[in-house]
Amino acid sequence: MAKLDPKTMKDWEIANAALDDMKKIRVVAEELGIREDELFPYGHYIGKVDYISVLDRLKNRPDGKYIDVTAITPTPLGEGKTTTTMGLVEGLGKIGKKVTGAIRQPSGGPTFNIKGSAAGGGLAQCIPLTEFSLGLTGDIDAISNAHNLAMVALTSRIQHEFNYEDEFLTKRGLKRLNIDPRNPAMGWTIDFSAQALREIMIGIGGKMDGFMMKSGFQITVSSEVMAILAVAKDLADMRARMGRMVVGYSKSGSPVTAEDLEVAGAMTAIMHKAINPNLLQTVEGQPVFVHAGPFANIAIGQSSIIADRLALKLADYHVTESGFGADIGFEKFWNLKCRFSGLVPNAAVIVCTVRALKMHGGGPKVIPGKPLDRAYTDKDVALTEAGAENLIAHIETVKMSGIQPVVCINHFYTDSDEEIAVIRRAAEAAGARVAVSKHWEKGGEGAIELAQAVVEACEQKPDFKFLYPLEMPVKDRIELLATRVYGADGVSYTPEADEKLAAIAADPELAGLGTCMVKTQLSLSHDPAVKGRPKGWILPIRDVLAYRGAGFIVPVAGDIKLMPGTSSDPSFRNIDVDTKTGRVRGIF
């Protein structure tokens, strides 16, 4: 392999240099135990896998060990959770384990905005980076199209019901649904951070231009269709969930579903290829499944159940990824994904950095696109120690589930031994294993200590338990999440949220769904400016959504939006194509 040096090369340069030594995807599949007829190649280096055939063929094989990667509350720059996931996969490979990873497909929003792609970094990346970052096999496009087709069905029906009498509708086999244009259940999707589309007016024009009404866009990866892809067991389950999606409400307040609009079948047809997980590889050639999407703050934010079930039959160790910190990403993995899948994890890795702990300890504000203050690169043991309370909160959350926590100190070359020692002492005192990992700099070789700690953690039998039973009222669950996981003193509700929760409690179909909180990822609280482990605060719930298809209730905390905004210095300014080689540069 070409000499790859993360200290002198950018991530995209490493990814492009690694292309020359990549395994063909048929080789990756063959080494994993996937037959030729079970692989659908998309070029030489990417494929989709026929999960039905593999799961049926290996149904009697015991599952491998199941590991989730989560993190502490991150800085706005992220703390290398995907980098750690890739590094752990490479490290387990280095110590001779048959291993797979599962990560989420990046959204165009962050890829072209501030945060960049989500392939990992340094020598711990998923490749090919360009294809991974720019559409892959079209899953997110399919989600956008399926979601927007439901909105086409809703808005066209509103127009026709407004313009025509019952006789006209009946001749066309349509039943009047009396849809209330003032109360749609969702808007449109686009996979960019497009704040200008948050609120729009549609139907402007004449009678044939639709019904004029207020609408808006959310980012595609926050769509309920994405959530359905993440939690569906198979195509039949996906089809049933699509049918249950609520697109609008009648004038009497009854839900209008995709099935009512006779669009659920077409939506599933759009998604029928997307349900097969994508197969890629690490820089060191280990197999990586890429399926479902990010944003655990405004969505479920998990790699798919199908990808995990598939990998657990093919490998002895499988490493999956949850979005953001343990308060939201791991919590949803624990209480939603594992509940839907029936899978029991063996260990959870909590990614931690000296940089993030310094921020939580009172360090200067971290602003994406601007150079880090020297406080984050110069040694400051006291500042690191002051931020350890945030790490301890996340360790306690993982321990509540009965899963073994392993703290991974994602090592930056500016970290001092004294700062690392402070973190190790705090994490071990809180009951976690600790490993320092240099996977960004050294790949699998740098992750051996982490891999060994994870193997040890997996030897202990988990005492897995959910935080709440589904019989618990939704309001009580929100209180439990707020006080036990986030550390709030209680919860407040807007009148609108209170009214919706009362309606949910009265509806047996809704009362038994899971709970998927929408909350900022930048704080344990609802306020992104509050760092550390905040005390003496109340969680404000301003709205509550019902995702009947995905199978959960979505309380919305604070001012968080389902459509992020693009910054004044977005990363798309740096992305271009080398017209001589055809290779893309500038993705990070």
In angstroms, rounded to a whole number, what is the distance separating the alpha carbons of residues 221 and 238?
17
Q: Which two tokens stand for residue 587?
A: 């993705």
Length of the chain: 588
Instruction: Give the contacts of 251 (CB within 8 A, at least 6 positions apart).
Output: 178, 179, 180
Name the active-site residue from 65, 81, 94, 313: 81
In angstroms, rounded to a whole number, what is the distance separating the alpha carbons of residues 454 and 345?
12
Name the active-site residue from 10, 24, 412, 572: 412
Name the active-site residue from 188, 192, 295, 324: 324
The question of whether 340 is a catalytic residue gets the answer no
**Phi and psi angles of residue 374, each rounded to the nearest 5 degrees, phi first:** -60, -15
- Do 410 and 91 touch, CB atoms closer than 8 A? no
Measured CA to CA in angstroms, residue 379 lies from 129, 375, 445, 503 at distances of 34, 8, 26, 54
- SS3 per residue for 239-263: HHHHHHCEEEEECCCCEEECCCCCC
Name the active-site residue from 48, 104, 309, 500: 104
- Please give the biggest Cα pair distance in the chain: 79
Name the active-site residue from 296, 393, 427, 546: 296
Q: Which two tokens stand for residue 488?
A: 């709030």
The helix, strand and coil proportions of the chain, stated in percent and rounded to the nearest 5, come to 40, 20, 40
Amino acid, res. 292: A
Name the active-site residue from 83, 384, 520, 566: 83
Name the active-site residue from 295, 330, 440, 537: 440
Instruction: Give the contacts of 206 (CB within 8 A, at least 6 positions apart).
Output: none
* Cα-to-chain-centroid distance, residue 104: 6
The question of whether 296 is a catalytic residue gets the answer yes
The question of whether 537 is a catalytic residue gets the answer no
- Do 126 and 120 touch, CB atoms closer than 8 A? yes
In sequence order, what E strands does 452-513 have? 490-493
The question of whether 115 is a catalytic residue gets the answer yes
The question of whether 520 is a catalytic residue gets the answer no
Q: Are strands 124-127 and 120-121 parallel, antiparallel or unpaired?
A: antiparallel
Residues known to be catalytic: 81, 83, 104, 115, 296, 324, 412, 440
